[in-house]
Structure 1
Amino acid sequence: MSDSTTSLKREPAKVLDPAEFIKANLRLAPVPALPEIRLYQAHPGSGLRRLLEPDDGDQGGAEPQPPYWAYAWAGGAVLARYVLDRPSIVAGKRVLDLGAGSGLVGIAAAKAGARAVIAAEIDRNGVAGLRLNAEANGIAIEIRDEDVTGGPPPAVDLVLAGDVFYAQDVGQRMMPFLDRCLTAGIDVLVGDPGRAWLPRPRLCLLGEYQVPDVGGNGGGEPKPSAVFALVAEPG
């Protein structure tokens, strides 16, 4: 084989370590409206696309997950603010942070006195970010890097669901699981800024805040967001 042919061979793509990338390229800073909590957050120079396209074969051909975990979504922010302001809601309880993303809600629950926190997140980069965020806040969280919605509820007292109705297919997957939680006697609180697929007839308003919706492309301007209790279907 000639030298010219050899020079055309592609070098294997370098696999980026998510934790190292996050520490090097995201900013650890207080969350808007939640100065008690610091997260590794994306900014215009983060270059997140490099982390989204690892050529390592373990995506199984699937599209990479968008980096929802790198931003503070309004639904998570309002739910975290509500829990921090009313610690009795979680004090001494076992809590599930569903679709945890950055871990913002679970971190707030732990800071407010939850006995144990489980954070469920399926994005492997999000899991790395979640772990770093928990460490940065001095919080111990059990991370479940799997889709928990397909099975029975874990052994918890309360489910905190921040911004899980941003798309129809996601909401349709969440509702049967949340209904199983209610049937098992587990309370469910939902944080949301009013996304299109919010199951409004099933929700009881508990509180409202003005929080930025950075993850939902709402920019840095505060907007009304709310916390609801999910109620069982009538009949």
Structure 2
Amino acid sequence: MKRSGMPRPDPAVFIKANLPISPVPSIPEILLHTAGPASGLWRLAGREENDPPPYWAYPWAGGAVLARHLLDRPGTVSGRRVVDLGAGSGLVAIAAAKAGARAVTAVDIDANAIAAIGLNAAINGVTIAVIAADIIEASPPETDVLMVGDLFYDPALAVRVIAFLRRCQAAGVEVLIGDPMRVDLPQTELRRIATHAVADFGGRAGGRAVQAGVFLLSSDG
């Protein structure tokens, strides 16, 4: 959809004014600016044909299950460096910081997501570095743990992501994936380590609770 002749609002100002702060379903420890029916996201995102969809405005199940897992098992990231790939709202990054990670970096291609991450981090009293870039064709980041929440929603993207994750694993990075078993999840290359019931705003769930999994990238793929 293309809407011409209308200036884009400042993302941070728009988010503060139109996306109310509320606790994340199943994760009340974390507050986020979240879109609702009256948020008017079209004024901020998706106005041009090449604009990324506003995935950041909703807590998807893949991120939610990782956040729940980290808060329940803080030893997963405590004292370690964490990168949240495709961070969206920053939910997973915030959970990692709350769980005691030594340093947390959130990566997303959407400038609106980057603005939302900054606001959401401040609401939750944590510090998160942000990178606005597509890094999955680049060298593995210097980190201990790579978190990937719900990035297997498109077949072409899934191929690129799993190749990047394999490179990260080869570089000694632990890879954790959260996903509600979307069709392009490469299940044969993963090992499930936990399951949590979380709300999902992606796909057809529309906010309903789903059983989402936390997976390790297998070592023999």
Which residue of structure 1 lines up, in the alignment, with residue 112 of structure 2?
A: 125
Where does 1:1-235 land on structure 2 (aligned, <5 Å)? Answer: 13-52=6-45, 63-234=50-221
The CA deviation at 1:72 is: 0.4
TM-score (norm 2): 0.95
TM-score (norm 1): 0.89
From the superposition, tell whether residues 93 and 17 of structure 1 become closer, same or farther in structure 2 (CA, over 3 Å).
Answer: same
Structure 2: unaligned runs, 5 residues or longer:
none
Amino acid at match of 1:100: A
- Report the Cα distance in structure 1 between the residues aligned to 2:46 and 2:181, rounded to whole angstroms: 31
Aligned-pair identity in percent equals: 50
Q: Deviations over 1:87-125 (max 9, x none)?
A: 000000000101000000010000000000010001011
Structure 1: unaligned runs, 5 residues or longer:
1-10, 55-60
Amino acid at match of 1:161: V
Q: RMSD of aligned C-alpha atoms?
A: 1.4
Contact 1:179–1:232 (Cα < 8 Å) also in 2: no
The CA deviation at 1:220 is: 2.8
Further displaced range: 216-225 or 189-198: 216-225
Contact 2:8–2:43 (Cα < 8 Å) also in 1: no
Count of residues in Structure 1 that have an aligned counterpart in Structure 2: 218
From the superposition, tell whether residues 12 and 195 of structure 1 become closer, same or farther in structure 2 (CA, over 3 Å).
Answer: closer
- Runs of 4+ in structure 1 deviating by more than 6 angstroms, as ranges, are none
Larger radius of gyration: 1
The CA deviation at 1:184 is: 0.5
- Report the Cα distance in structure 1 between the residues aligned to 2:13 and 2:204, rounded to whole angstroms: 26
The CA deviation at 1:214 is: 1.5
Amino acid at match of 1:151: A
Q: Deviations over 1:152-185 (max 9, x none)?
A: 1111000110001011111111111101110011
Contact 2:88–2:113 (Cα < 8 Å) also in 1: yes
Q: Deviations over 1:121-172 (max 9, x none)?
A: 0101111111111111111011010011111111100011000101111111
The CA deviation at 1:217 is: 3.8
- Report the Cα distance in structure 2 between the residues aligned to 1:115 and 1:85, rounded to whole angstroms: 17
